Structure 1
Amino acid sequence: MQKWKRGSWLVAMCATLLLASACGNNGNSTNNASQSAGNAESSAPSSASASTQTESEAPEGKVTITYWNGFSGSDRPVLEALIKKFNSSQDQVEVKMEIMSWDVLYQKLTTSSASGQGPDFIAFGPENIAKYYDLGVIAPVDDFYSNSMIDTTLLPKGYDQLLHYKDHFVGFPMNYFAHALYYNKDMVKNAGLDPEKPPTTWDEMADWAVKMTDSKKGQYGMTLPSGWVYIPQLMWANGGDVIDYQTKTSMINKPEAVAAVKYWTDLVLNKKVAPAPNSDNLKMFASGKLGMMFDGPWMSPQFKAAKVNYGVALMPAGPARQVTFGAGLSMHLTSKGAKDEKIKNAVYKFAQWWFEKDTQKEWAIKIGFPPIRTDLASDPEIIEENPDLKIFMESANIGQPWLVGIVNSGKILSEVFQKYFDQILMKKADIQSTLDQASADLDKILATER
């Protein structure tokens, strides 16, 4: 049986959220609560920590910098090889990398930082920035950008949100992804639809979902789990949002947001176009029982390996705009690393090298993720290796992150999204009154951040 695995870098983003995202153990894209960071990915190491050190000792004259991350999946050997390549490419900086499970990483980061120990730089998702910046764990890096060490105009639209906090640059770009629409071409054909003309609007996608649904065969047109990835992007597409980031107040029960939830839950609950929220959506899609699903580039290699006849398209546009969920990991200089000018400059040198074309091409080709640079969007070598990346690189232009700069992001996900959207999708609770209560709870959480 095919073993479904998620890119481990994505687990970094999911690991601290205490809620399922696109990392569920049972294959459900967005509906699995992560009770601990280590169970966010079924393929993550079971041991408490899996460390690697690229070099035992730096050659004489080189500045050694320590790098912590949780790239413990199939991307691990690729990153290790790139670190080794960097170390041998110049005689100034030696990166000593330690890879461990994400739960161990966060535990170690908190305790080691309190004692002035820990890494010189680290990688994690944007939901961690506010927390660790306020704790004094990571440092501002404004001079990296004021000295134009990378060309920020080459970053995907909106990516700068992942690098800013409290009017400071606080990170360096590492990778980025945005969701797209996967569809099963065989199911599309059997429903009398054209697989070469995927839906471009909500109404077209809804029509496809209805036509591909056959409850007698246990076959469904699409999925809409209750997790945080799907719901916000549907609200955005209808002109709404979850949070007003300027005032730090809830928008989850505003008319645009409510209308979006009503539109899609009507399809799910009344027209029965989706399986139960706890279903194994990935397995269903691969076996021809699920017509469409939103997901990231990490699924393409797995569907290819399973010989699924699938297509990938941009997220269909909503009534207000075309938008999708986008996020990624960034690297961060720690306060420990910032105390030593040589260490800081060495981290800057590595961050600059990571952004170079050749590095990004090798990373993208070998792990199957879009490069962070938009000027590589049409690179023939990348597209030839993985044609799906063309769509995912285009998706980056409509990608939108969220909960950036929100300290209590994990609490919002578990106490608002998991709780109330489960009530709507699993218990058929009234949408307006449920979102009113969700909004009240969300405002209580946000009040601590104003």
Structure 2
Amino acid sequence: MKKFFGGFLIVILLIAFLSACGNDDKGEGSGGNSDTITVWAMGEEGKLLKEMAKGFEEENEGLTVEVQALPWENAHDKLLTAVASGNGPDVLQLGATWIPEFAEAGALLDLRDYVKDNPEFAKENYFDGAQTLMEYNDEVVGIPWYVDTRVLYYRTDILAEISYDEAPKNWEELEDAAQKLADRGDGQWGLDIDQKDQITPFIFAWQNGYQADIENNDLNLDSPEFLGAMEYYTSFFENGYSQQNEGLDIIQAFANGSKAMFFSGPWMINQLNDQVPDIEGDWSVATMPGNTSNTSSLGGSVFSVFHTSDNVDNAMKFVSYMNETETQIEWMEMSNALPARVEAWEDPKLSEDEKYSVFGEQLNDAIPGIQVEEFERIAQELLNSLERVNVGGADLEDEMEKFNQTAQQLLE
């Protein structure tokens, strides 16, 4: 998902406005019976959702779904405008990192009554990480739509040549395999790490036992667990196991074997199958190699109801339809997005698939980014600091001290 930055201070300034004009709407929890349900969704997903909505309309005669597909590059600003004006859709898609920002601004209807009265929305229906996305400040602000997570992609044939008949299972094995792969010669790398990916450093941190203390407004970014993970992260660049510059496209590098291991999500399965079919049978996926845990990230989207909607009952009918296991399987086949409902993973299309089943296993140990509205800015500051270490040769300890100060200031 493309990330967006900024707008947070604007949202904070809007809170007072929303408190004055939005609390009555937010507290009703029901109402409205318009025959047209308006939905905002992002990018290609929005375009595909228009097709999915036809099935809902067939099952609910008399109801129409109008889906507006927002380009990712404009979506954040459009949502901010909707918050300021109070003129939003009935249902909106929110990515995992956007939920705290718009929930804090009071833009999302509290759905606790719907969850209480409808067992289909019960928290236990979803993976633990997805449950975290549902709530903000004790309110239910979204119903999980789909999820994604990161796993290890690896060339089975090349790793076999360095005496790894299966994927590395922990940090020690990952580092050892990366060293042996890099030792093959010039232009050969051990592990591809995308230095623009905000979540990878936090995955390493979680695997090393790191936790933020949000209740006490402390990110714990100066903890031994976090700093040890950043030392491990930067060691791949320092030792020459990971390429400092972007280099060859990862799909082509994976195909020619120069980069035989990398982290990515479920979308990469079809991309590899379509773009480099010649290596079919020579690659696989595995759960993340970890340290104290094998934790990975949990991303995805929820459906939320805009706080000024006067069509909440029908909006929740649409959310309910998209929440059905059959619908989630259909959406997975259409978009490659993984079902958020645990029950959907009993379907043979997932449970018996050699690669997708690994994603299902990883989702049992996957958590979203830190649920504060400043997370994206904090994550970008971390990437900037790590780049100065990996590419510019800056001192890691100094950079982490400065980063911790900046992050805490953003949080406060």
Normalised to the residue count of structure 1, the TM-score between the two structures is: 0.79
Q: 1:438 to 1:116 in 2, by over 3 A?
A: closer
Counterpart in the other structure of 1:381:
349
Q: 1:277: how far off?
A: 4.0
1:412 equivalent in alignment to 2:382: no
Q: Is the 8 A contact 1:163 1:171 kept in 2?
A: yes
Q: 1:345: how far off?
A: 0.6
Counterpart in the other structure of 1:34:
none
1:421 equivalent in alignment to 2:409: no
Q: 1:92: how far off?
A: 5.1
Counterpart selection for 1:175 from 128, 132, 146: 146
Counterpart selection for 2:218 from 218, 242, 249: 249
Counterpart in the other structure of 1:311:
284
Counterpart in the other structure of 1:391:
358
- Alignment partners' CA distance in 1, 2:294 and 2:146: 22
Q: Is the 8 A contact 2:199 2:379 kept in 1?
A: no
Q: How many residues align?
A: 379
- Alignment partners' CA distance in 1, 2:225 and 2:80: 40
Equivalent AA in structure 2 for residue 120 of structure 1: D
1:122 equivalent in alignment to 2:92: yes
Identity in percent: 24
Q: 1:164 to 1:390 in 2, by over 3 A?
A: same
Q: Is the 8 A contact 1:225 1:277 kept in 2?
A: no
Counterpart in the other structure of 2:22:
none
- Map 1:17-416 → 2, pairs under 5 A: 17=5, 63-72=35-44, 75=45, 78-91=48-61, 93-150=63-120, 151-194=122-165, 197-214=166-183, 216-226=185-195, 227-241=197-211, 243-270=212-239, 272-279=240-247, 280-305=249-274, 306-307=276-277, 308=279, 309-318=282-291, 320-337=292-309, 340=310, 343-383=311-351, 387-404=354-371, 406-414=372-380, 416=381
SS at match of 1:139: coil
Q: 1:225: how far off?
A: 3.5
Q: 1:428: how far off?
A: 2.5
Q: 1:64 to 1:121 in 2, by over 3 A?
A: same
- Alignment partners' CA distance in 2, 1:98 and 1:77: 8
Q: 1:408 to 1:267 in 2, by over 3 A?
A: closer
- Tell me how large the CA RMSD over aligned residues is: 2.1
Gaps of 5+ in 2: 7-32
- CA deviations on 1:107-145 (whole Å, 9 max, x unpaired) are 222224433323111102122222222333222111111
- Alignment partners' CA distance in 2, 1:17 and 1:300: 29
- Alignment partners' CA distance in 1, 2:374 and 2:167: 38
- CA deviations on 1:49-82 (whole Å, 9 max, x unpaired) are xxxxxxxxxxxx962110011132xx55542221
Q: 1:77 to 1:66 in 2, by over 3 A?
A: closer
Q: Is the 8 A contact 1:235 1:256 kept in 2?
A: yes
- Alignment partners' CA distance in 1, 2:171 and 2:58: 51
- Alignment partners' CA distance in 2, 1:113 and 1:163: 20
SS at match of 2:327: helix
- Alignment partners' CA distance in 2, 1:114 and 1:352: 28
Q: 1:154: how far off?
A: 1.9
Q: Is the 8 A contact 2:46 2:68 kept in 1?
A: no
Counterpart selection for 2:398 from 433, 440, 443: 433
Gaps of 5+ in 1: 1-10, 19-60
Q: 1:294: how far off?
A: 0.9
- Alignment partners' CA distance in 2, 1:259 and 1:239: 10
- CA deviations on 1:38-59 (whole Å, 9 max, x unpaired) are xxxxxxxxxxxxxxxxxxxxxx
Equivalent AA in structure 1 for residue 392 of structure 2: K
Counterpart in the other structure of 2:3:
15
